[in-house]
């Protein structure tokens, strides 16, 4: 079984100093769609295209197709990113 990893997207945001809120506002994606991504769920190709257009990058720069089962490493990475992002916005 295959799944999508968004780890590259989170790295892109960190490297470019872009918050998830800024990404959401610039692309028009909903907070629930972003939450789905943080939790490792699939989103539409249209959403990924909006993100790529905003970041001016290719799809392969923001997602990776992983083979096997989703491991806790990718999910815990996303959860830590979300927690770090929330702590930054509350300061």
Segments of the chain with pLDDT less than 50: 72-73, 76, 89-91
Give the DSSP per-residue string, 16-33.
Answer: TT--HHHHHHHHT--HHH
Quote the pLDDT of residue 71.
Answer: 58
- What span, in angstroms and rounded, lies between the C-alpha atoms of 33 and 3? 16
Quote the pLDDT of residue 90.
Answer: 44
CATH of the domain at 34: 1.10.260
Q: Using one digit for the tens of pLDDT, what is the confidence trace for 68-89?
A: 876 544 554 555 555 555 555 4
Number of domains in the chain: 1
Domain that holds residue 81: 2-89
């Amino acid at each position: 079984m295959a799944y999508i990893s968004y780890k590259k997207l989170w790295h892109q945001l960190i490297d470019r100093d872009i918050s998830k809120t800024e990404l959401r506002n610039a692309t028009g994606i909903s907070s629930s769609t972003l939450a789905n991504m943080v939790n490792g769920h699939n989103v539409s190709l249209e959403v990924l295209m909006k993100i790529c257009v905003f970041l001016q990058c290719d799809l392969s720069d923001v997602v990776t197709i992983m083979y096997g089962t989703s491991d806790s490493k990718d999910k815990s990475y996303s959860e830590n990113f979300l927690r770090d992002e929330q702590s930054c916005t509350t300061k």
